Amino acid sequence: MAEVSKLVDVTRCVGCRGCMVACKEWYELPGEWQQARFEGGYESARGTLGYHRWVNVQFYELPDRGQEPPGWFFRKHQCMHCGEPACVAACPVDALYPTPEGVINLDQDACIGCRYCESACPFGIPQYEPERRKVSKCIMCYDRILEGLEPICVKTCPGGALMFGDRGRIMAEAEARLATVAARFPEARIYSPAGVGGTRSVYLLPGPPELFGLPVGPQVPASVTFWQTVAKPLGTAAVGAALATTAVAAVIQRRMNGGDKGAGGGRGDPSGQRDRAAGEGE
Amino acid sequence: MRARVSRRRFLGLAGAGTALAWLVRLGYDVGPARAQVRDLKTAATTPVHSICYFCAVGCGVTVSVRDGELVCAEGDPDHPISRGRLCAKGMALHEMQRNPDRLTRVLYRAPGAAGWEERSWDWALDRIVERVKQTRDATLEYKNAAGTTVSRTEAIASLGGAILNNEECYAIVKLMRALGVLYIEHQARI
Amino acid sequence: MTNHWVDLKHADVVMVLGANPAENHPVGFLWALEARRRRGATIISVDPRFTRTSAVADLYAPLRPGTDIAFIGGLIHLALETGRFHRDYVVNYTDASYLVDEGFEFRGGLFTGYRPQTRSYDKATWKYQVDEEGKLLRDPTLGHPRTVFQLMRAHYRRYDPDTVSSVTGMPKETFLRVADAFLAAAAPDKTGTIMYAMGTTQHTVGSQNVRAYAMLQLLLGNVGRPGGGVNALRGLSNVQGSTDLGMLFHTLPGYLPTPSEATHPDLAAYDATTPGGYWVNRPRFLVSLLKAFWGQHATPENDFAYDHLPKLRAGKDYSHIALFEDMYDGKLRGLFCFGQNPACSGPNAGKEAKALERLDWLVSVDVFENETAGFWKRPGVDPAAIKTEVFLLPAAHVFEKSGSVTNSGRLIQWRWKAVEPPGDARPDLWIVHNLALRLRAAYARSQRAEDAPIRHLTWDFGPAENPDPEKVAAEINGYRVGTREQLDSFGALQADGSTAAGCWIYTGYHGSKGNRAAARELDDPGEMGNYPGWGFAWPLNRRVLYNRASADPDGRPWAPDKAVIWWDAGQGRWVGHDVPDFVPTRAPTDPGGRSPFIMLAEGVGRNFAAGMAEGPFPEHYEPYESPVSNALNPVPLNPAVKIWTGEGNERGDASEFPVVASTWRLTEHQHSGAVTRRQTRLAELVPEPFVELSPSLAEARGIRSGDWVVVRSARGQARARALVTPRIQPLAVNGRVVEQVGLPWHWGFLGLVTGDIANVLTPHIGDANTMIPEYKAFLCDVRRAEGV
């Protein structure tokens, strides 16, 4: 099967959040209403992902960009499905793995809850659940893809913001759409950053990525590459030893101490302004 | 009515993806990756056609049923207006159906009571009929002062209907008008 | 909708005002986006708040709540003064060339004939001029000073761009840009559509708002054409069908007027009030309805049981507000609520909840317990003091029953039962069916004449345990009495008792070919998006209403890419991609062959509408509660609205309540939230009530985003979270700055997520014609909540 991709066209999203509920319907994920509270904006849980929330639509008010009408944009946040997936490299038990189609799949049964992937991901995607000691994330509806169906979010999207298919076709569509929106959004661009090997979730953004909570030049952390090439081959039995001796240990230690939240996407800072122009926080 | 599931094979067969190539380059052995991909949840289900409960766009909904249980409710890809799409509310139809908060028993609250009691349909229908008849008989105005037959009661009202089926709306209207009810209103006014 | 959802793709310009379809009709709105993608259509969003629709629009124009007529009047003014109207269409298909009575005038904010004591008009001069033979006088040059056209020009001369800007708060440059974009649809080969919803109708001038849109669309030649029309986006899945089927006090199924003791004491009197146009057939529709209701007991001798229908008390209003005012005054004893929750969704909801306490009994049928069923345990009341007997009946979910629903585009679609209801839950049809059977039995031995309507009620919908919706559908559709032959057209209905039909406009949906609501054919003739084989659109499967107007007077399409029907001289009939909304064999040269608006006696679109309560032309009046005086005329409030006084109907004043408030809905919740607040996945999306306010108001009140605030009106107060956003801005109105806020009203005290009921703020005052409450413009104040 060919390499696939999903286009997320921020210039077309109407912010209805059908994708969020569709994802939960398909994967039988409960709504996390017990913790939900209004945080000063439309987003749920400040736009962050959760163990049961693999997709979240982030709302960006950008009134001062000189556009007419003033900007209010909606970015569907989910796994980027990197070409060089740091999470896969970091995973000591191969619970995360790339499929031949380029989807980064997650075998939750195999996950040991070590959270290396969480630290490694430059987009803040994997979500850890302490009781289950597992992570979760979007798997691009791999079960549907194998049956020739598009991901449920793409299927349900009313605004035509989401599109799924062969990567070549998706990249061509992204280019074509970029040309048509150039007049409305002179700073529009395609986002599939090379530092992580390109992403199977491809954005068409109306402006620079930092305005939409995305890292400008995400890279696979050097520590992860080291882990991948040197330490990981020692095998899972040596995880403890590896932790003591590799840079990954330092990464994890920092996270445990509350720092190093990862670049974009993770909007967990409870003191931050809501709906701010991105780039000023996190 | 049952529909056939339309499977659209849009993915061609071609070489491995970039991610795979990168991992192979790094000496990663993709073989042991356990492909614990679950079966399609709508496999071996019977699709039934419905229309969304919420707004008046009238989007098509495909309801997948297995052994009398609802498995999934998603957009109907054949529907000419919605083409398989549903918004956040439409995608919540399944949860609404199997919601543990649903009313599944007839509930009765006696005058002044602080809570509900469960009752049978038989009891409730008879009691409602008794109350309706009592009220109607006590308040029915058959002829007005001018001698015109007016057949009305201004003591009973009926509200609602905008989320019911047409046939249900008609049945309500027919019964209410026959009872002499003039206060018939619903969400179209508000 | 005069048109339908898919038809939006033909528009060259889409004006959304009084609606927010990207949020409230996201899937339907994709067709407006499709128009932009395919045709480069311009999407205009006119709204007090910058909404999710505004976010994807090409043009956003802010508007103070309650000033639509000033805005549209300004567009009409520009259209007429700059010649940007579709002249051929206007001359041939509208009343613009008709002469109006010499005595008619507009002065001092009032039309001729105002009677202040009754707040109503004597409409004697609101009429066209006729010659001795009763023929309408016309001037097709439109130059005569008494033409509707010239009177309209004179009327809207006051609505110049500066005045419009000053009244609406819309910057003048923005107004002119919107005008340029929308008036471009006057070109014969272009069409523009107006999408509206409750932002339009929920005003004291709601009907005239819609009228103003219709006039503008007639002037631009946009009615009856693909990508055009005046399109009401209805909010609930079957609010169109429930309205079609007569669930409002003033109509029987099929928009037949409810008999009134004053004007319709008997059948002959009812028929004597029959209007012209296609309505001349009304007696056939009423008798067929009576036959459906009372079958063999409806005979020529007893006027087909006409007297079995209840008659309205002369001059009495039975609409929602009046109903609750009467309930509050103790005049009602029992209430049925089928999936409606007025304790949250009613205007002045605090008063309406209190009114429920005065009922002897309440029957609520719902899928979840809602705040109306549970009104006796609402915060702050003692259940012991409330003597109402309450029945809460468990209803089946939409997937647990079969039946049809009618969407906004009049499309009737069938939905099939998929699973059994849980426990004792039953379809509403089952519940009504069993009540009807038991009531009929309870009256079976009565000899009283007044009980005949129940005793004789035809109720052939199947066994008690299993009523068949298809049997009901067959009766709604209509059949020939005796043979039970199902009919395919209301043209076959008769006034002699030989036919029965529950709702004439639905005839054909369940006719001789079976259940056409269930049809799922995807043929699309001409790729117009009409899909005539999918479901059934009333009337007679016509997809675009008034589609005769899609062709020029000679019967040729105005534009090749917007062809719906056209005259085929060879075949001697109208042909095309839709069912003609016209006599199919009436040639353009025949009498009436150029009169597309077949429901009206004059056959043309009305710019001058004498049927309206407050005047033949829409005129701007301020909302019931307004911070400013009327800058366009000396009359502050619609002079024809009924003002409700008495307990609980306090009117707010700008000195105490300086902020303009409007209410609205979110995509994530539905109406009162009784259903959506029960779903974990939707509760997660928007868990708590909030109010949107501008950064300047927030600063003035010391409010930060996320703070709890109290919104107060003259009638009540509601706590909500603050959402401070530049998307809502103060407006410059009559030289001063007016702050505004907007709040959705999806919350109540039951459910997974709860919150204060915002409708305790809204007033009991309604439109002069429809009595639709003014939810969308009232005065309030906003303060930080203390102690939280």
Question: What is the domain partition of chain C in residue ranges?
Answer: 1-235+543-620, 659-784
Q: CB distance from A63 to chain C under 8 Å?
A: yes
The whole-number pLDDT of residue B2 equals 42
Q: How sure is the predictor about A248, in pLDDT bands with cuts at 50, 70 and 90?
A: very low
The whole-number pLDDT of residue B21 equals 55
Name the B residues in 42-81 with CB < 8 Å from any A CB: 43, 72-75, 77
Decide if pLDDT at A268 tops 60.
no
Q: How sure is the predictor about A123, in pLDDT bands with cuts at 50, 70 and 90?
A: very high
Q: In C, which residues are within 8 Å of B186 by CB distance?
A: 239, 242-243, 247-248, 338, 340
Element (H, E) at C110: strand C110-111
**Among C447, C463, C75, A148, residue whose Cα is nearest residue B42:** A148
Q: CB distance from C200 to chain B under 8 Å?
A: no
Which of A20, A38, A68 has the CB atom closest to C688's CB atom? Answer: A38
The whole-number pLDDT of residue B32 equals 42
| Averaged confidence pLDDT in chain A | 83
> Could you report the per-residue pLDDT of B100-132, keeping only the tens digit for each?
999 999 999 999 999 999 999 999 999 999 999
Q: How sure is the predictor about A221, in pLDDT bands with cuts at 50, 70 and 90?
A: confident
The whole-number pLDDT of residue B8 equals 33
Point out the least confidently predicted range of A58-67, A105-114, A258-267.
A258-267
> Could you report the per-residue pLDDT of C30-71, keeping only the tens digit for each?
999 999 999 999 999 999 999 999 999 999 999 999 999 999
CA distances from C230 to C1, C195, C314 (A): 6, 7, 33
> Could you report the per-residue pLDDT of C413-446, keeping only the tens digit for each?
999 999 999 999 999 999 999 999 999 999 999 9
> Could you report the per-residue pLDDT of C584-623, keeping only the tens digit for each?
999 999 999 999 999 999 999 999 999 999 999 999 999 9
- Interface contact flag, B19 A98, Cβ < 8 Å: yes
> Could you report the per-residue pLDDT of C114-128, keeping only the tens digit for each?
999 999 999 999 999
Q: How many CB atoms lie within 10 A of CB C173?
A: 10
Name residue B69's beta-bridge partners: B66
Decide if pLDDT at A64 tops 70.
no
The whole-number pLDDT of residue C182 equals 98
Every domain of chain A and the residues it spans:
1-219, 221-259
Which of A101, A147, A155 has the CB atom closest to B84's CB atom? Answer: A155
Q: In C, which residues are within 8 Å of B165 by CB distance?
A: 238, 241, 401-405, 415, 428-429, 469
Instruction: Decide if the complex's ipTM is over 0.85.
Output: yes
> Could you report the per-residue pLDDT of C330-353, keeping only the tens digit for each?
999 999 999 999 999 999 999 999
Q: How sure is the predictor about A225, in pLDDT bands with cuts at 50, 70 and 90?
A: confident
B82, B75 contact by CB (below 8 A): yes
Fold of C659-784: Barwin-like endoglucanases (2.40.40)
Q: In B, which residues are within 8 Å of A99 by CB distance?
A: 17, 20, 35
Q: In A, which residues are within 8 Å of C667 by CB distance?
A: 15-17
Q: CB distance from B150 to chain A under 8 Å?
A: no
CATH class for the domain made up of C1-235+543-620: alpha beta
C485-486 and C479-480 beta bridge pairing: antiparallel
Name the token pair of A264: 């974009």
The single-letter DSSP state of residue C307 is: G
Which of B106, B126, B180 has the CB atom closest to C310's CB atom? Answer: B180
Fold of A1-219: Alpha-Beta Plaits (3.30.70)
The whole-number pLDDT of residue A36 equals 84
Decide if pLDDT at C131 tops 90.
yes
Percent above pLDDT 90 for chain C: 99
C: neighbours with 3+ CB pairs under 8 Å?
A, B
The whole-number pLDDT of residue C479 equals 98
The whole-number pLDDT of residue C788 equals 56
Q: In B, which residues are within 8 Å of A109 by CB distance?
A: 34, 36
Per-residue DSSP letters for C377-426?
A: GSTT--GGG---EEEEEEBPPGGGS-EEEE-TTSEEEEE---SPPSTT-B
HEC-encoded secondary structure of C432-498? HHHHHHHHHHHCCCCCCHHHHHHHCCCCCCCCCCCCCHHHHHHHHHCEECCCCEECCCHHHCCCCCC
- Closest residue on chain A to C688 (Cα): A38
> Could you report the per-residue pLDDT of B162-184, keeping only the tens digit for each?
999 999 999 999 999 999 999 99
Q: How sure is the predictor about C167, in pLDDT bands with cuts at 50, 70 and 90?
A: very high
Q: Which alpha helices (H) appear in C184-281, and where do they start and end?
A: 198-201, 206-219, 239-244, 267-272
> Could you report the per-residue pLDDT of B137-152, keeping only the tens digit for each?
999 999 999 999 999 9
Q: Tell me where in chain B the CATH 3.30.200.210 domain(s) lie.
A: 18-97
> Could you report the per-residue pLDDT of A156-202, keeping only the tens digit for each?
999 899 999 999 999 999 999 999 999 889 999 999 999 999 999 99
Chains A, B: CB contacts within 8 A come to: 155
Name residues whose C-beta falls within 8 Å of residue C116's C-beta, 6 or more positions apart in sequence: C639
Mutation to test the B interface, candidates A143, A154, A230, most B Cβ within 10 Å: A143
Collapse the DSSP code of B13 into the 3-class scheme (helix H, G, I; strand E, B; otherwise coil) and give the result. coil
CA distances from C192 to C26, C218, C230 (A): 20, 11, 10
How big is chain A by its Cα radius of gyration, in Å?
18
Q: How would CATH label the architecture of B18-97?
A: 2-Layer Sandwich (3.30)
Mutation to test the C interface, candidates B168, B176, B183, most C Cβ within 10 Å: B168
Name the A residues in 231-250 with CB < 8 Å from any B CB: 233
